Amino acid sequence: MQFTGRKRRLIGNPKTELYGHCLQFYGQPPLENISLTEFETFAVDRLKLLKTVENLGVSQVKGSELYKNKLDKEFSNLHFPYKAEVKEEDKVGPNEYEKRRKDHISHFILRLAYCQTEDLRRWFIQQEVDLFRYRFNYLTQAQKSSFLQHNNLHYETVGLEEKMALSDKLISSSYAVSGCKVENQDYYKVPFQDALDLVRNRKVYLKAGYVYIPHQDIVITVLNDFRTQLSKALALTARSLPTVLSDERLQPLLSHLSHAYVGQDYSIQKNMGKISLEQIDPLSGKSFPLCMRGLHQALRENHHLRHGGRMQYGLFLKGIGLTLEQALQFWRSEFTKSKVDTDKFDKQYAYSIRHNYGKEGKRTDYTPYSCMKVILSNAPSQGDHHGCPFRHSDAELLKQKLQSYKVSPSGIAQILDLVKGMHYQLACQKYFELTHNIEDSGFSLNHPNQYFLESQRVLGGGGKEAKAEPPQRAPDVAAKPPLDPPALAEMTEDLDAYFQDG
Amino acid sequence: MTRTSHLKMTSADYEPATLPDLLPLYYRRLFPFSQYYRWLNYGGVQKNYFQHREFSFTLKDDIYVRYQSFNTQNELEKEMQKMNPYKIDIGAVYSHRPNQHNTVKSGTFQALEKELVFDIDMTDYDDVRSCCSAADICPKCWTLMTIAIRILDRALREDFGFRHLLWVYSGRRGVHCWVCDEAARKLSVAARSAVAEYLSLVKGGDETVRKVVLSDPIHPSIRDALKVVEHYFPQYALQDQAVLGLKESVDKVLALVPEDVKKDLHTYFESEKNPEKRWGRLRAYAKTKQATVKKGQHFEKEIMLQYCYPRLDVNVSKGVNHLLKSPFSVHPKTGRISVPIDLKQLDKFDPFDVPTISLICAELDRPRVGEEEEQVDSKEKDSDIDAAERRRIRDYKRTSLAKYVKILDQFLDGVAQSNKGELLKKSDLQKDF
């Protein structure tokens, strides 16, 4: 046996040494060769995992039972490691080593895909941090200490004697730590240079240059470390990216991966022509989100909508499958019921409808507005009916509207609560759940057309494939160029099938 | 006239106009170069540490020169004796010799290390002292510096584990602290700013009335600070500053008290004029409030802290490359030497007793009192000191500067001990296989 200064597991299977823990900081990139298939599969699986992390992060309370169950299932399905102890009997499919290897490699592949822009980096770091937190909290106290040691993080646990001696100091330095907690929970001694945020805000006991962090707070420090490291690593990765992208086998996959993040924009209308005009009225009550239902109602009542409303509703209708001819017929029939005659309609309004379908002007096929866009841009003023009712209507009016749509009083209360907390999309999701009579919508709402598709699915209207993949919180998706050239199709067929509705 | 008052009169006779005549004398015969070099060389443990240190000089007519650096103690001496700077600042240890920074490829010349420093300036307390304002100080408000030193010294030592702190009188209206531990010198900007924030409690400018806000739980370091403040508060605040005396001052205090208590106190103050009794009543109200209200109300503590807790300039402490006035530099306006403060005698420190350059130069001309034995300190090896240096050593010892150089010596002894410990540890480790 050798005496070295480093803490390493000596003389073991090199395999176990490399992946000695189910969790890692991803400090070292993988050095082996892998096949293109593995490259692609690993990357896609991890992306699915991260998207689940994101969705659950938005719709559930992190760490709640429901959150845990869902995420655990995803881990199992995708063969990623999360539990530290592995029962050998449980070995169906890849073993623990293979899972950890996949975890390691997939992380580094996604770094390549997500290092390119600030937005991508931010998203990636956020999900990886949440993922790390989740897995870190799964470890036992002993495993946590071992993990920290293994990664050369000088987090020494404070001995019981010292803890008790410092007991009242420890209590009076951290919020929400009581006497019994001091005894029962672990405290870690960290050099103050490694816990600057806690020092700066005087949130922790400091003695002789060491910060005494209660266990509940150690995660914060570890996560900060992780986040900082990852952020730096991504910046470095971005610099070496041109070299990587010059490999033609990788370039298409990597750019498709990051494009997939930006998500579905509903410009591919697989349902084109499947909706008839007569269906719109009943559909508006059943499957339209509140904003579109309101717009439809206003159109029917006033036989008119202003520009903002025409854009928002018109593009939505295109998204659910209305053809250009149908759209022209639809709008003309309504508008001519008011003071607009057919000639005036053809002159003033038809042009812009055709424009929306990419048949005029620069021929951009406009995409329907996402929730983000509806909520954040172009707020409605007097006489407008567009926007997001959860965001733009005042509470009283919203309540009345929901009452008129026969939403239960308790449901209305829940919705109003979410609105107060500024969770507009969650409020709409709640509206979905209440109007469809289901407990859990099963998706994370980001787009009015997504609402429609999900509603149709629940009501048995179509969709035979895997569940529709919700697009992520993407920035403005209007005027997106059409998807990739045919060269990609072969390699990325699987991705497409996953990410789009059947 | 007694000898001391005569001397006091002499120091009060400092005239800025005489500075050009006194400086050459000071730098030739009094400035403690060997201690200075011993300090900044830090035992020679790190190569080129002294050579890469930046100094800046303010010369006559406000000419300011930066990026001065020197290869040896001798070079430093020669240059200072040639330039006779009015002010000397010490900067960081850089990646290259500062005086060659223009020859270095842009971007590679960087400040690497520097002592962690703090600057406490009396003007930052103008809103809470009634005796003086701006650049003036007096024995009544000097207590603020005493309190600041006690609180910060404890926190830096006990909370942060620093051991080598040099406290220096700035020469006019404040004090500086140089934290010289190796760990301190290597701190990043973020770390320095975190330390400074940890030590800051008084926040807000002219528009902020309530500058200290305490919430439960009260951090141990704040409790420790309160102990110090409470010790000095009766004499300093209630007596010397009379914060509960004149109506104007009373109003300022009451502005920091909750509405309902304010009314009661107003009434009480109509009949009770004794400041101790007034303060006693205020504290009593605070205690009652704390017992009854769910969220602790600590207004009496907040008042004490607002009036007494150290106010430091975070920007001075943050920057690795920040230049700070050097110990043993002269203050051109007051003539006083920036001398180290002996913390063992802190309560006796009197800024008005600090020697001025005119005083110590005058003392040089004094006839010797008896034959002085040439005591060779154990630190000085004869072979390393030339005659001029020996003479200089004898010279400052004849002046009031002597005791302050001794403080620096003792400080440096402490640093050397630590270094020795470190070197031993290092060599022990190397012997291991």
DSSP A80-143: ----S---GGG-SSS-HHHHHHHHHHHHHHHHHHHSSSHHHHHHHHHHHHHHHHHHHHHS-HHH
Q: Which residues contact A190 (CB under 8 A, 6 or more apart)?
A: A154, A155, A156, A210, A211, A213, A221
Are the C-beta atoms of A149 and A7 separated by less than 8 Å? yes
Tell me the average pLDDT of chain B.
Answer: 89
Per CB-CB distance under 8 Å, the chain A contacts of B223 are 172
What CA dihedral angle connects B150, B155, B156 and B162, to 10 degrees? Answer: 110
Per-residue pLDDT of chain A (502 residues; tens, 9 = 90+): 333 333 333 333 444 456 767 788 888 888 888 888 888 888 888 988 887 787 776 556 666 777 777 778 777 777 777 765 555 445 456 677 788 888 999 999 999 988 887 777 888 898 899 899 888 888 877 787 788 777 777 678 888 888 888 888 888 887 666 666 777 788 888 889 988 888 998 989 999 999 998 877 777 788 888 888 899 999 999 888 888 888 888 877 887 776 654 445 565 455 566 788 888 999 999 999 999 999 999 999 999 999 899 999 999 999 888 888 899 999 998 888 887 788 888 877 888 888 888 777 666 667 888 887 888 777 888 788 999 999 888 888 999 999 999 999 999 999 998 888 778 888 999 999 999 998 887 777 888 999 998 898 888 754 333 333 333 333 333 323 333 333 333 333 333 333 333 2
Could you give the CA distance from residue A269 to residue A322 in angstroms, rounded to a whole number? 9
Q: Which of B219, B226, B314 to mutate to test the interface with A (most CBs of A within 10 A)?
A: B219
Q: Which of A199, A210, A221 to mutate to test the interface with B (most CBs of B within 10 A)?
A: A199
Task: Give me the phi and psi of A264, to 5 degrees please.
Answer: -70, 135
Residue of chain B whose Cα is closest to the Cα of A204: B219
Mean pLDDT of B336-344: 97
Q: Is B350 a catalytic residue?
A: no
Query: What DSSP element (H or E) covers B71?
Result: none
Q: What is the pLDDT of residue B5?
A: 41
Percentage of the residues of chain B whose pLDDT score is greater than 70:
89
Nearest-Cα distance to chain A for B219, in Å, is 5
Could you give the CA distance from residue B346 to residue B53 in angstroms, rounded to a whole number? 31
B106-135 pLDDT, tens per residue? 778 999 999 999 999 999 999 999 999 888
Reading the block at residue A425, the tokens are: 């999309």
Q: What is the pLDDT of residue B371?
A: 45
CA B116 to chain centre: 12
Q: What is the pLDDT of residue B6?
A: 42
B145-171 pLDDT, tens per residue? 999 999 999 999 999 999 999 999 999
The number of residues in chain A equals 502
Could you give the CA distance from residue A23 to residue A85 in angstroms, rounded to a whole number? 12
Inter-chain touch B191–A202, beta carbons under 8 Å: no
pLDDT band for B383, please (50, 70, 90 cuts).
low
Q: Angle CA(A266)–CA(A272)–CA(A276) in degrees, nearest 5?
A: 120
Per CB-CB distance under 8 Å, the chain B contacts of A202 are 198, 219, 221-222
Provide residues of A within 8 Å CB-CB of chain B. 3, 169, 171-175, 192-193, 196-197, 199-202, 205-210
Q: What is the pLDDT of residue A500?
A: 36
Strands B116-121 and B165-169, sheet pairing: unpaired
Q: What is the pLDDT of residue A489?
A: 36
Buried b (16+ CB within 10 A) or exposed e, A109-145: bbbbbbbbeeebbebbbebbbbbbbbbbebbeeebbb
Can you state the angle between helices A448-458 and A424-436, rounded to 10 degrees? 20
Give yes or no for a cis peptide into B24 (omega within 30° of 0).
no
pLDDT band for B433, please (50, 70, 90 cuts).
very low
Helices (H) and strands (E) in chain A, counts: 25, 4
**Which ranges in B65-181 belong to alpha helices (H)?**
73-83, 139-154
Q: What is the pLDDT of residue B317?
A: 97
Which amino acid would we find at residue A113?
A
Per CB-CB distance under 8 Å, the chain A contacts of B162 are 209
Could you give the CA distance from residue A368 to residue A364 in angstroms, rounded to a whole number? 12
Nearest-Cα distance to chain B for A209, in Å, is 4
Per CB-CB distance under 8 Å, the chain A contacts of B220 are 169, 172-173, 205
* Start-to-end C-alpha separation, chain B: 72
Strands A156-157 and A187-191, sheet pairing: antiparallel
Could you give the CA distance from residue B299 to residue A431 in angstroms, rounded to a whole number? 48
Could you give the CA distance from residue B105 to residue B73 in angstroms, rounded to a whole number? 28
- Other CB atoms within 10 Å distance of the CB of residue B256: 18
Nearest-Cα distance to chain A for B216, in Å, is 8
- Other CB atoms within 10 Å distance of the CB of residue B78: 12
Could you give the CA distance from residue A236 to residue A258 in angstroms, rounded to a whole number? 18
Q: Which residues contact A242 (CB under 8 A, 6 or more apart)?
A: none
Q: Is B347 a catalytic residue?
A: no
pLDDT at B104 over 60: yes
Query: What DSSP element (H or E) covers B93?
Result: strand B87-94
Q: Is B54 a catalytic residue?
A: yes
Q: What is the pLDDT of residue A260?
A: 54
Mean pLDDT of B346-362: 95
B261-285 pLDDT, tens per residue? 999 999 999 999 999 999 999 999 9
Highest mean pLDDT among A374-388, B379-393, B416-430: A374-388
The number of residues in chain B equals 433
Please name every residue paired with B168 in a beta bridge, in sequence order, or none if there are none. Answer: B176, B340
Among B119, B240, B300, B302, the one annotated catalytic:
B119
Residue of chain B whose Cα is closest to the Cα of A198: B194
CA B384 to chain centre: 32
Q: What share of chain A is helix, strand, coil (3-state, %, to 5)?
A: 60, 5, 40
Among B113, B121, B240, B302, the one annotated catalytic:
B121
Inter-chain touch A208–B161, beta carbons under 8 Å: yes
pTM given for the model: 0.65
pLDDT at B8 over 70: no
Inter-chain touch A210–B161, beta carbons under 8 Å: yes
Are the C-beta atoms of B350 and B180 separated by less than 8 Å? no
Inter-chain touch A172–B219, beta carbons under 8 Å: yes
Nearest-Cα distance to chain A for B116, in Å, is 14
Mean pLDDT of B320-342: 97
A147 compared with B85, residue with greater pLDDT: B85
Percentage of the residues of chain B whose pLDDT score is greater than 90:
75
Inter-chain touch B187–A210, beta carbons under 8 Å: no
